Chains A and B, each alone.
Chain A
Amino acid sequence: MPDAAVNKKKVKRSLTSDVSDSPLLKKSRSEKATMKKSAAILEPSPEVILELEKQISSSTEHYNNLVYLLHYMKNDDPQIALLSATALFRSFAKMMAAGLLSPVKKSLVGTAQETVALWLKEKYKEFKTDLVLLLAAEDAEAAYTSLTILIRIAKEESTYLSPNKGEYHFAKTLLKRITSALLNLSSDDLLLEFVEQYVDKYHDIRYHFLNSACMVAVEQAEDQTAEEQSLFTANLLSALTTLSSFPIDSSELTEFLVDVPSEAKTPVKKLSSQRGALQDCWLAILKRPLTVEQYKYILQVMHKKIVPNINKPQLLMDFLTDSYDTGGVVSLLSLNALFLLMQKYNLDYPNFYTKLYALLDRNILHVKHRSRFFRLLDLFLSSTHLPAALVASFVKRLSRLALSAPPSAIVIIVPFTYNLLKRHNTCNLLLQRTDFTDADAKKYGLNDPFNDEETDPNHTGALESSLWELATLQDHYHPNVGTLAKILSEPFYKPSYNIEDFMDHSYGTMLDAEFVKTIRKAPAVEFELVSNVFGGTDSKAYLSGWEL
C-alpha cells in the first residue's frame, strides 16, 4: 500500500471533488444504475444505505455505490453519516480480506482490473481521510464512532495489507494520522477516551501512539502558531499523565490489538522499547515551551509517573537541577524526583544541603506543598551521620520561621524538632545550655549567635543559640499548639513522634475540630462587662481608636 501522507490541502481537494467528475464513473458499465440511484443521493435513509452496501458485496458492478456512500458520510445528519461510515467500513473490510486493496500483481498491469484496483484504493484513501476529519466533529458520538472505526480499520489493515505477505505488520501510518488529529483537537475528551480505551489496553497501540506523538511533536513544532502549540502540549501532557498501566515487567506485555506472532521480532514486544518511546515523548514535551502550571504539574508527577518508567532517567538530571536552582515552589516540587535520582541513579548533587537550607525561606510554611516538603526534609535529615552544626542550623531556622507561621505549620515543626533533637543529642544544647555565665549574657542574649544571613548551614553558629522562638510558642493562642510546644520542656521519654500524624492540618481542620465539640459545660463568661464598646479616644473602652 502506498504511503498516504496527508496534508490539509489534499483533504480539502478530495472533499470538493464531485461524484460525477469521476472518470471511472463514465467508464463503468452500470451507468443506468447510477442514474437510477441519483434519486437516493437526495434522500439517504438507513434502508437505502443497507441496500447499497448489500449491492456492493453482491457484485463488483455495484462498486460505484461507494461513491454515494462516501457522499452520505458528509451528510448533516450524524446518524446517516455514521451508518454510511459503518457500511463503508464493512465493504472495505471485505475487499481487504479478498485482497482487492493489496498492491496490484505485475501480471495484471495495464488491465481493467488494475484500473478498478487503483480506483478502489483511491476511494479507500478518501474514506480514511473523511473518517479522520470526523474525529473533530462536534457531535461526540460521531467522533467516538469514527474513532472506533478507525481503530478497527487499523486492525484490518495490519492484518491484510502487510507489504510482505504473512509477516507481522502494524498500520503505523494510520495511527499516526489518528494521533495527530486527536492531539490537535481543542478539547481532550476524545483523546482521553482513546487513551483509556485503547492506549492503556493494547501495548502495540501504546507503543505506536507514543512514537507517533513524539514524531508529530517534532514535525509540527515549526509550522504551528503559539496557540496551537500550547494546545498540543496540553493535550499530550494530559494524555501522558492519564496513562495508568505502564508495564513494569516484559511479562505484562500480552495484550495486543494485532496479534503478534511469537517468532516476529518487533519492538512492541520489548519493554525497553516501550520505555524508550515514553522517554522520547516526555523529552519532547520538556523541550516544548511550558506554562508555569504545566511545569509544576510535570514536576509533581515526575517521581511517580516518569522516572520509574523510562530507560534513562539520567536524562532528566539537567531539567531537575535547573528546576531545583530556580527556587520557590518549583524547587520544592523538583525535590522529590531529584531525590529519586540521587537515591537510585547515582546522581551526585554538590551542596545539596546548602540548597535545601536555602529552601527554608520565609514562605515555606505558608505554601500549599508544605507537607510534601516536610516529608522529604524528614527523610533528608534522618541520617545520624549529619554534622550537628548542620542539623542545628535547620532546627534553628525552622524555629525562626515558626514564629511567623500559622498554627498548622507550628504543629509540624515542634514534633519535627523533637525528633531531630532526639536523634542528634548534641543539638540538645539548643534547649539546655548550662555552660554559661552571666558574662556571656551579651553574647547569648542581645545578639543571637545564630546568623540569619549565612547560607551555609554548617557555619550559621546555630549550635551556640537557643530555641527561644519555640519556647515562646508554648504560649500560643491555640491551646493545643501551646500544649504541643510544651513537649520541648518535658523529659524526652518518647523515642520519636510520627510526623505523618501532624502533617495535614490547616485552619479548616482545626476549626472543624473546634466546632464539633459539644457544649457540655457553659463556657466561662467575663465577670465584668466593659461598659463601652467603642472608645474613640477613651482608652477604657473595648475598642479604643474605633467609632461606630
Chain B
Amino acid sequence: MAKSQLKQLKERLKTSGFTGQTNAKKQKRGRVPAASREDKDNLLASIRDEFNPFEVKTTKQKHGDILGRRVQGATGRPGLSKQIGEENRRRTLQKELERKNKAGAVVDRRFGEHDPNMTPEERMLERFTRERQSRSSRTSSLFNLEDDDGESEGLTHFGQSLSLDDEFTLGDSNGGLKRRPGDASDDDEPERKKSKNEVMKEVIAKSKMYKYERQKAKEEDLEQIEALDGEMDGLRSLLFSSSAATTQPSEPVPERDIEYDEAVRELGFDRRAQPSDRTKTEEELAEERVKQLKELEDQRLRRMRGENVDEDDEKPKQRAPDADADDLEDDFELDDAADFGFGKGLGDVDDEEEGFDVESGASDEGSDDDSKARTKKVSTSTNATPLSGRRGKPSVELSEEDLKSGLKFTYQCPSTYDELLEIFEDHGLDKQLTIIERIMTLYHPSLAAGNKEKLMKFGPLLIEHAVSIVDDSSDLSEDDYNKLVKKIYDLTQSYPEEMSEGFRTQLKVIRQRLQIAITKTEESDYPLPSDSMIFVLIGMIFSTSDYFHLIATPAMLLIGQHLSQFPISTLGDYASASLLARVSRKYLDLSKRVIPESINYLNLSIFSFITQTAAPQGFPLADNLTKLSVEGTSKGISLRNLKISDIMTDTPITKISTPAERQLALSILKADLDTLVEFASLWKGKDAYKELFTPSLELLDLLSSEIAASKKRSVALGAIRDKITETSTQLRRLIDLQTLNRKPLMLQQHKPIPIPTYAPKFEENYSVDKKSYDPNVQRQEISKLRAQVKKERKGALRELRKDNAFVSREKLAAKKKKDAEYHAMLARLERSVASEN
C-alpha cells in the first residue's frame, strides 16, 4: 500500500540527507563546498517538482476497474518533458537555425582542440613547439608565399589550392584541405570513407567549378562576337560592291562532284553488312518445329481447360462469392443462372419451343424474308463500292490455257456474294481457285492501302461460296475442294475476326432454317448438304477443343438441336443427321467432352431398324417416331461410303423400295455404327461409361436377335449383319473393361465445412496486460513490430510538428526583437533630432 504524500516526502528528504539527526552535527561542522550547495539546490528543486501535484498529469481510464483490478492510467510530467524538449531544441535546432544561409564559419582547427585526452597544458606546449618549428624552417620572409610548404594551408580558391606546382592537391583537392596537421603524416593509408558532409562539399565544389568554366566560355564567345561585329562593316562593303563577281565562280560546281558527294554520304549512312544466321541443320529445324508445336499444343490444352492463355483475354465471369452465414440470402435480384453465363431464359414458360410436341407457331423468331431459302441468302456485306483503278500491277502470268478458258489477269475484289458469283460465272472449281488466287495476289495487303479491308470482305464470301457449292457437288473434285478450304483457312489465320463473323453469319442462317424446319411454319428444304457443310468447315478450321469458343460452342449447340429436335422423315434427313453426329465426334476429338444428343441420335438410328416397339431405357423416344422400313433383299448390296449429295435424297424412310435406297439406308446405319464405336473409344474413362453405352448395346442385341429370329429380316439386313455383330462385341468388351474399375464417387473430398458459430470467443486465461492471444508466433511477432513502427512513426510526426512550432516561435521572437530594436533606434534618432533642435 502506498504511503501518504507527507510520509513519502519525509522519507525522500531523509534519504537525500536533508533531514534526520544521524550525521547532522558532522555535516554542519564540515565545510559545505559551493558546488555541493548548488547540487543541493538542484536536488531540492527536483524533490519539490516530484511532489508537486500540478506537475503530474494522469490520464483517466474509462474502465478503471477491470476484473477487480485497478488499472492506472498513464502518468507523465508534461511540464518537465516540454521543458526538456525545449532545451534540446534550443541546443540543436536553434543552432542550425542560426547557421542557416550562412556560408562561412569559424572552424577551430587549433591543434588538439577537440582531443579530450590532452590537458590544456599539453595542448599549449604542443602548439608552441609547432609554431617554433614552422618559424625555424622558413628561410625567407614571412610573406613569401611561394615557399609555403605542404604543412601550411596555402591560398585556396573554391576549395582548390592556388599553388601551381602542387599536382597532388589538384588531383585530390579535398585531401589537402581537410587533412589536419596531426594526421597528415600517412599519405599512403587506404582512402578513408568520406563523410556525407564532405561528399556534399565536393559536389558543391565541382558544380561551382563547372559553372565557372561555363561562364568563362561564354565570356570568350562574347568577346569573339564583339570582334566579328567590329569587322562587319568592312565585310559588308565587300559584299555589296562586287556581288556578281563573287557569286559567279561558286555556281559551276560539276555534276560529278555532287554525285560523288552524295555517294560518299550514302556510303557513310550505309549499314554495314551484318553476318547472317547460318543455315540451320535438319535436326535443328525439326527441333524448332517440335518446340513450336509443343508450345501450340500447350496453349490449346490451356484453352481446352478453360484457362486464359493471354492476360488480356476476357475472363470468364467470376462466379459470385459463395454466401456466408451472415448473408441474408434474399437475392431477389441475383440470378443464380446468370452466374454460369446462361442467358435470360425464356421468361414465359408456355412459349417454350422445345420438346417433341412442338406446336405450330411456337417460334417467335425467324422473320419471314430472312430465311426463305438458301437461294436468297443473307449476304454478309452489302455496300458494293466499285473499285476505281488498280494500283501496283503485280505480274500474273497469263498462260495460253487461261486465254482459252476466258480467265482474266485481273479481277475486281468482290464485296458481295452476287459480285463473287458474277466473277466466277460458269467456271469450274479449278478455275475458280485460280481466280481466287489471283484476287488474293492482286489485293495483297502489302500492295496498296485498303487492300486489307477488301480481302477482309472477300473472306466471308468465300465461306459462303464453299458452303453453298456442295449443294451441287456433281462436278466438284475433292482436291479442288481441299484447296478451297485451305484458302479459307489461310484467310482465317490472317483475318480471324472478320472470318469468324462470316462463320457466325452462316450459323445464324442455318439456325433460322432449322427453326423453321422444326416448327414447320413454312415450307422448308432444310437439310441441304450446305447446311451441314458449315459445321465441317468450322470443325476443320477452328480449334474446337476450346472450353469457350465463339464459333464452336454455338455450332455444337446447333448440332445438338438438330439431332434432338429435327424429326427424320426422309433418307436425306437421315444422312444429314448421320453426318452431324460424325462431325460432333470430330469436334470432341481432343477435348473428349460429352454430347448426349449424338448418342441419342445413334440409338434412335439403330432403333429405327428394329420392328418391335418396346425400346430399352436410356434414351428419349418420341411418340410419333417414324421407323425405317427396309423391305426386300439386301443380297448383292455392298455397303458404300456416304456422299454429301445423299443428303438431297428425299425418299421417305417408310417407303424404301429400290436397291439403291436400301443400299443408302444400310450404309448410313453402317456409318452410324462406326461413329458409335468412335464415341465408345473416345469416352474411355468416363464414370458413366456403362450408362452411356448400355442402351446402344441392348439395341444392337435386339436388332441382331431380330435378324436371327426372322427370315425376312435376315434377308433384308443381311448385308449389315456382320457389322452389327462386330460392333456389339466391341461395345460389350469396352463396357466390361471400363466398368471393371469403376469406383464410387469421391467428389466431396474437401475439408468438412465448419458450421458457422456465433458464440463469443472466450479466452481461458485472460489477462488484462496481454495484448494478443494469437497462437501463431510469427504473426504475433509481426503484429508487434507493426505496432512498434506505428508508434515510432507517430512519435516522429509529433516531434516534427513540435520542431516546426519551435522554429516558427523562434522566428517570430527574432522578428519582434528586430522590430523592437528598430523602433528603439528610430525613437532614439527622433529624440536626438528633437534635442538638437
Chain A residue, CB-CB nearest to B619: A404
A446 within 8 A of B: yes
Whether B478 lies near A532 (C-beta < 8 A) is: yes
Whether A513 lies near B536 (C-beta < 8 A) is: no
A526-B543, A529-B540 known; A504 vs B742 contact (CB < 8 Å): no
B338-352 to A contact mask, C-beta < 8 Å, 1/0: 101111111111001
Q: How far is the CA of A468 from the CA of B549 in the complex (A)?
A: 27
Whether A547 lies near B642 (C-beta < 8 A) is: yes
Chain A residue, CB-CB nearest to B539: A542
A379 within 8 A of B: no
Whether B496 lies near A404 (C-beta < 8 A) is: no
A472-B687, A477-B588 known; A371 vs B349 contact (CB < 8 Å): yes
Q: How far is the CA of A545 from the CA of B593 in the complex (A)?
A: 23
Q: Which residues of B, 645-682, contact A by the 8 Å Cβ criterion?
A: 671, 674
A545-B671, A546-B579 known; A366 vs B551 contact (CB < 8 Å): no
Which residues of chain A are near B748, meaning CB under 8 Å?
Answer: 428, 431-432, 489, 491-492
Whether B594 lies near A473 (C-beta < 8 A) is: yes
B456 within 8 A of A: no
Which residues of chain A are near B546, meaning CB under 8 Å?
Answer: 523-524
Which residues of chain A are near B470, meaning CB under 8 Å?
Answer: 548
A475-B686, A479-B553, A548-B478 known; A368 vs B742 contact (CB < 8 Å): no
Which residues of chain A are near B599, meaning CB under 8 Å?
Answer: 404
A165 → B minimal CB distance (Å): 54
Whether B596 lies near A527 (C-beta < 8 A) is: no
Q: Which of A473, A506, A533 makes the CB contact (< 8 A) with B485? A: A533
Which residues of chain B are near A504, meaning CB under 8 Å?
Answer: 345-349, 352
Whether A525 lies near B493 (C-beta < 8 A) is: yes
A362-393 to B contact mask, C-beta < 8 Å, 1/0: 11011110111000000000000000000000
Query: Which of the candidate stretches A219-227, A239-247, A267-275, A433-441 sits at the interface with the other chain?
Result: A433-441
Whether A367 lies near B473 (C-beta < 8 A) is: no
Q: How far is the CA of A408 from the CA of B515 in the complex (A)?
A: 17
Q: How far is the CA of A548 from the CA of B511 in the complex (A)?
A: 24
B628 within 8 A of A: no
A80 within 8 A of B: no
Which residues of chain A are near B550, meaning CB under 8 Å?
Answer: 514, 517, 519, 523
Q: Which of B296, B353, B587 makes the CB contact (< 8 A) with A506? A: B353
Q: How far is the CA of A433 from the CA of B293 in the complex (A)?
A: 42
Which residues of chain A are near B336, meaning CB under 8 Å?
Answer: 415, 497-498, 501-502
B300 → A minimal CB distance (Å): 7
Whether A548 lies near B476 (C-beta < 8 A) is: yes
Query: Which of the candidate stretches B24-32, B355-363, B699-707, B797-805 sits at the interface with the other chain?
Result: B355-363
Q: Which residues of A, 470-516, contact B by the 8 Å Cβ criterion?
A: 471-473, 475-480, 482-484, 488-495, 497-498, 501-516
Whether B296 lies near A527 (C-beta < 8 A) is: yes
A280 within 8 A of B: no
Which residues of chain A are near B2, meaning CB under 8 Å?
Answer: none
Whether B593 lies near A476 (C-beta < 8 A) is: yes
Whether A477 lies near B593 (C-beta < 8 A) is: yes
A411 within 8 A of B: yes
B500 → A minimal CB distance (Å): 5
Q: Which of B329, B341, B600, B739 makes the CB contact (< 8 A) with A404? A: B600
Q: Which of B346, B478, B554, B588 makes the CB contact (< 8 A) with A509? A: B346
Q: Which residues of B, 307-349, contact A by the 8 Å Cβ criterion?
A: 310, 312-314, 316, 322-323, 329, 331, 335-338, 340-349
Q: Which of A441, A472, A542 makes the CB contact (< 8 A) with B688? A: A472
Which residues of chain B are near A372, meaning CB under 8 Å?
Answer: 349
Chain B residue, CB-CB nearest to A450: B691
Q: Which residues of B, 427-480, contact A by the 8 Å Cβ criterion?
A: 470, 473, 476-478
B254 → A minimal CB distance (Å): 60
A362-B617, A406-B597, A502-B337 known; A526 vs B354 contact (CB < 8 Å): no
Chain B residue, CB-CB nearest to A526: B543
Whether B340 lies near A366 (C-beta < 8 A) is: no
Q: Which of A403, A433, A495, A507 makes the CB contact (< 8 A) with B745? A: A433
A428-B748, A431-B745 known; A407 vs B557 contact (CB < 8 Å): yes
B530-559 to A contact mask, C-beta < 8 Å, 1/0: 000000100111111011111111101110
A141 within 8 A of B: no
Which residues of chain B are near A329, meaning CB under 8 Å?
Answer: 357
Q: How far is the CA of A334 from the CA of B170 in the complex (A)?
A: 111
A530 within 8 A of B: yes
B516 within 8 A of A: no
Which residues of chain A are near B188, meaning CB under 8 Å?
Answer: none
Whether B504 lies near A436 (C-beta < 8 A) is: no
B377 within 8 A of A: no
Q: How far is the CA of A329 from the CA of B352 in the complex (A)?
A: 15
B641 within 8 A of A: yes
Q: How far is the CA of A329 from the CA of B641 in the complex (A)?
A: 41
Whether A482 lies near B593 (C-beta < 8 A) is: yes
B561 within 8 A of A: yes
Whether B618 lies near A404 (C-beta < 8 A) is: yes
Q: How far is the CA of A404 from the CA of B485 in the complex (A)?
A: 34
Whether B540 lies near A445 (C-beta < 8 A) is: no
Whether A476 lies near B342 (C-beta < 8 A) is: no
Chain A interface residue count, Cβ-Cβ cutoff 8 angstroms:
100
A469 within 8 A of B: yes
A504-B346, A514-B554, A533-B485 known; A475 vs B592 contact (CB < 8 Å): yes
Which residues of chain A are near B741, meaning CB under 8 Å?
Answer: 441, 445
Which residues of chain B are near A479, meaning CB under 8 Å?
Answer: 306, 316, 341, 547-548, 553
Chain B residue, CB-CB nearest to A368: B355
B271 within 8 A of A: no
Q: How far is the CA of A445 from the CA of B504 in the complex (A)?
A: 44
A532 → B minimal CB distance (Å): 6
Q: Which of A365, A436, A472, A525 makes the CB contact (< 8 A) with B692? A: A472
Whether A484 lies near B340 (C-beta < 8 A) is: yes
B489 within 8 A of A: yes
Whether B356 lies near A363 (C-beta < 8 A) is: yes
Q: How far is the CA of A411 from the CA of B596 in the complex (A)?
A: 13
B616-627 to A contact mask, C-beta < 8 Å, 1/0: 011111100000
Q: How far is the CA of A548 from the CA of B579 in the complex (A)?
A: 12
A13 within 8 A of B: no
A304 → B minimal CB distance (Å): 12
Q: How far is the CA of A478 from the CA of B691 in the complex (A)?
A: 20
B513 within 8 A of A: no
Whether A548 lies near B356 (C-beta < 8 A) is: no
Whether B500 lies near A445 (C-beta < 8 A) is: no
A543 within 8 A of B: yes
Q: How far is the CA of A72 from the CA of B363 in the complex (A)?
A: 50
B736-774 to A contact mask, C-beta < 8 Å, 1/0: 100111111111111101000000000000000000000
Q: How far is the CA of A371 from the CA of B349 in the complex (A)?
A: 7
Which residues of chain A are near B556, meaning CB under 8 Å?
Answer: 477-478
Whether A467 lies near B745 (C-beta < 8 A) is: yes
Whether A370 lies near B753 (C-beta < 8 A) is: no
Whether A532 lies near B511 (C-beta < 8 A) is: no
B506 within 8 A of A: no
Q: What would be 23 A-B contacts, judged by CB atoms less than 8 Å apart?
A: A362-B618, A366-B564, A368-B352, A368-B358, A404-B599, A407-B557, A445-B739, A445-B742, A480-B340, A483-B340, A498-B335, A506-B352, A509-B342, A511-B511, A515-B554, A519-B497, A525-B543, A526-B542, A526-B544, A529-B489, A532-B482, A545-B641, A548-B644
Given contact pairs A362-B620, A501-B336, A521-B310, a sample of 8 additional A-B residue pairs in the complex whose CB atoms are under 8 Å apart: A406-B560, A406-B597, A441-B742, A444-B744, A476-B594, A509-B343, A525-B492, A542-B539
The residues of B with any CB-CB pair to A shorter than 8 Å are 293, 296, 299-300, 303, 306, 310, 312-314, 316, 322-323, 329, 331, 335-338, 340-349, 352-358, 363, 365, 470, 473, 476-478, 481-482, 485-486, 489, 492-493, 496-497, 500-501, 504, 507-508, 511, 515, 536, 539-544, 546-554, 556-558, 560-561, 564-565, 579, 582-584, 586-588, 591-597, 599-600, 617-622, 641-644, 671, 674, 686-692, 736, 739-751, 753
> 9 tightest CB-CB pairs across the interface, nearest first?
A522-B496, A513-B343, A445-B742, A493-B322, A504-B345, A433-B744, A468-B687, A432-B748, A504-B346
